[in-house]
Amino acid sequence: MDSYKKIRLMLVGTGGYAQFYLETLSRPELLQKAEFVCAADPFMSAETKSALEAKSVRTFDDMQKAYNEMGPIDLTLCVTPLPYHLAHIRTAVQNGSHVLCEKPAAPVLEQLEPMIALEQTCGKGIAIGFQWSFAPAMLACKRDILNGKFGKPLYAKALVLWPRPESYFRRGSGWGGRRFGKDGTIINDSVASNATAHYLHNLYFMLGDAMNTSAMPVELETSVGRANDIENYDTVSVKAKLENGAEILYLSSHAVKHTQNPLIEFHFERAVVSYDCDTNCLTASCADGSTVEYGPVDGSVDTKVHTVIDAVRENNWSSVPCLPSTAKPHVYTVDALFRRSEIVPFPQEMIAVYEPDDPEKRGVFVRGLEEAFHKAYQANRPMDFAEWLR
């Protein structure tokens, strides 16, 4: 494709997180590269439909109808619920379109493996939108890691505590916190597969052996717990040994009262790379006393959309850092949590309520859990929730 020619772009999904995509697609700098020609969503709000049509963006209730009526689409942005990612990616590439699919890639391996097969055989580019994998600061740091600047990786860890009200699990069409849909479809929506998926994926991604790969786990030690009235878990601990010999620790929960934004560290032979959630900056502190400042971590939708648009215009997918295959360690882990980990119910006497009088803000938390997570993170050890309750 002529790199000076605008590409034709379609958005699939317009609710929820897709609003950030709609903002990106309205920016003048993007419109210099791409023409936003249509959007598809069977549940598109009247307000969104009206706003898009006022900008001459055609709207459809089905993505195949859009392909049939609009002619060639160069890039499809899929911002749809997790269980539909595979079907929507397949429809896009079968219609000759490249794809950027919002994270996470898939709820289980059986839905990811066909994506990887498509990635390798369909002749079209498929990207997965873990935005930290597109962030210039993360990519600059990963280049230094791959170049051996810090020595071998030893271990990495992340702690993310994000309270979520009970209304959060009723979002959308009711798939929040579900293991299965009413028709038996695997949903596997959880704190690890969705809300804090970025940070679990990032631990694997930064330790991959190439810019667009992630390190695979070879051993997993897991525990999951539940305080909310949901089908799946809301609290998780994962310790993984990687194929390169390093280990990762991932701790996360929604069943807390206070927010702890991501605490992340990567330990190497000659440096510690840390993410400061207060400044949003990534820094390497080296054993010789020097530091490397990588700057703010750009978590915007803009960066990944521009990266993929440029790849389509230049017909060069090598610059795209996150593919379905890149996401495999994350999906492998949440698949194992789904199939092999028994959910530990937190006892009612340990569960308390915050904002009890506001139906939109009311939520539950487990007494003592936040403190236990912080201690585990500092000690670099996983949690076993059944053992913790004894």
- Residue among 102, 87, 94, 80 at smallest CA distance from 124: 94
- The SS3 call for residue 183 is coil
pLDDT tens-place string over residues 2-44: 556 899 999 999 998 999 999 999 999 999 999 999 999 999 9
| 293 within some domain | no
Q: How many residues does the chain have?
A: 390
Residue 233 per-residue DSSP state: -
| DSSP codes joined into one string, 273-312 | EEEETTTTEEEEEETTS-EEEEEE----HHHHHHHHHHHH
Which domain CATH number covers 122?
A: 3.40.50.720
Q: Are residues 368 and 240 in the same domain?
A: yes
Q: Name the residue with tokens 């007494």.
A: 367
**How far is Cα of residue 336 from the mean position of the Cα atoms in its chain?**
17
Q: Using an 8 Å Cβ cutoff, are 130 and 205 in contact?
A: yes
* Domain tally, the chain: 2
Looking at the DSSP bridge assignments, the partners of residue 285 are: 272, 291
Q: Does residue 248 share a domain with residue 103?
A: no
DSSP string, 139-171: HHHHHHHHTTTT-SEEEEEEEEE----GGGGG-
Distance of CA 104 to the CA centre of its chain: 4
DSSP annotation string for 331-370: HHHHHHHHHHPPEEEPPGGGEEEESTT-TTT-EEEETTHH
Tell me, yes or no, whether 234 lies in a domain.
yes
Is 130 in a helix, a strand, or coil?
coil
Predicted local distance difference test score (pLDDT) of residue 175: 82
Q: How confident is the model at residue 3, as a pLDDT?
A: 56
Chosen domain end from 90, 111, 131: 131
Q: Looking at the structure, do residues 205 and 352 belong to the same domain, yes or no? A: yes
Which of 92, 110, 131 is the last residue in one of the domains? 131
Find the domain containing 244 and state its range.
133-266+323-389
Residue-by-residue pLDDT tens, the chain, 390 positions: 555 689 999 999 999 899 999 999 999 999 999 999 999 999 999 999 999 999 999 999 999 999 999 999 999 999 998 889 999 999 999 999 999 999 999 999 999 999 999 999 999 999 999 999 999 999 999 999 999 999 999 999 999 999 999 999 988 767 889 999 999 999 999 999 999 999 999 999 999 999 999 999 999 999 999 999 999 999 999 999 999 999 999 999 999 999 999 999 999 999 999 999 999 999 999 999 999 999 999 999 999 999 999 999 999 999 999 999 999 999 999 999 999 999 999 999 999 999 999 999 999 999 999 999 999 999 999 999 999 999
Which residue carries 């699990």 as its tokens?
169
Is 224 inside a domain boundary? yes
For 209, 248, 284, the CA distances from 148, given in Å and listed in that order, are 11, 19, 13
Residues 337 and 222 in one domain: yes
Q: In this structure, are 123 and 148 located in the same domain?
A: no
Are 159 and 25 in the same domain?
no
Q: Is residue 241 part of a domain?
A: yes
pLDDT digits (tens, 9 = 90+) for 104-157: 999 999 999 999 999 999 999 999 999 999 999 999 999 999 999 999 999 999
Last residue of a domain, one of 82, 113, 131: 131
Q: Do both 249 and 381 map to the same domain?
A: yes
Q: Is residue 315 part of a domain?
A: no
- Give residues with Cβ within 8 angstroms of 353, minimum separation 6: 362, 363, 364, 365
What is the predicted pLDDT for the residue at 2? 57
Same-domain status, 68 and 194: no
Q: Do 78 and 125 fall within a single domain?
A: yes
